[in-house]
Structure 1
């Protein structure tokens, strides 16, 4: 199975509840600037109407979603795409996870380039749906580095009860 990788134009990715896409203004009204202020691997921003958005900070890396593990995979470096899904699945079992911020969501999330309006997803910019149920999730981070030539950063959504 191959992964579908998304790119940004140099800034961070934002992950927004589908129901709140119209609240993300991209570069127009300062939302993008707020996202760029996140220096950690991940951070949570408050949106109007009480929704929350997850920012994938640090570097603008190619990113894919692994739905069966509720994990975002960020490509740091690798020689090729061959076998990446298997490398990541194996690495998830032995990864050393750092606990991250808590994100509350109303259901399905959409990841896209933070520079765009949320309403432009699917027309001017690509997005990826993250099928999560309503609830609270801690977003943990880990590195998967099976050898000196391969490195991925992974963020998993851990449901809190």
Structure 2
């Protein structure tokens, strides 16, 4: 199985509930706040109490592996061949670092934070993350199957 990789123009990715896309103002204000996140992931509050997840640190190409509710960020690898299988094999033994909590009304949309949420699907590529409404903790780990291959992985852990 091949993953679909998205890249940004050099800034962070933002992950916003589909119901709150119109609230993301891109370079008109929210982009600067997203760029201030220095951690691997961070949460920003949007108007009306909605929350957005920022994939901070480096602007790495990112893909979604839906059956495990994870985002995979490409650090380095020789090729894309077998990446999904490498990630799947690394998840059971991964040492996860607990991350911030995020509330969502349901489906999330990941896209380049420089764009307005209203530009998703027209001016910028995106990927949807099918999650139920609720509260999630976003944990992070590294998956390094060998010295030539490294990925950063973020998982959504549903909180009850």
Asked whether the two chains share a fold, i.e. TM above 0.5, the reply is yes
Which residue in 1 is equivalent to 2:27? 27
Is residue 3 of structure 1 aligned with residue 3 of structure 2? yes
1:111 equivalenced with 2:90 (yes/no): no
Question: Take 1:106 and 1:152, find their aligned partners in 2: how far apart are those partners?
Answer: 28
State the TM-score, normalized to the length of structure 2.
Answer: 0.99
Instruction: State the Cα distance separating 1:104 from its structure 2 match.
Output: 0.5
Distance 1:2 1:49 in 2: 37
> Matched residue pairs, number?
160
Segments ≥4 residues shifted beyond 4 Å: none
1:18 aligned partner: 18
Aligned to 2:58: 59
Rounded Cα–Cα distance in structure 1 between residues aligned with 2:90 and 2:16: 27
Q: Distance in 1 between matches of 2:110 and 2:127?
A: 5
Aligned 1:92-107 pairs, distance under 5 A: 92-107=91-106
TM-score of the superposed pair, with normalisation by structure 1:
0.99
Q: Secondary structure at the match of 1:97?
A: coil
How much has 1:137 moved relative to structure 2?
Answer: 0.3
Distance in 2, matches of 1:146 and 1:33, equals: 35
Give 1:35-54 correspondences, 5 Å limit: 35-54=34-53
Q: Specify the alignment match of 2:125 in structure 1.
A: 126
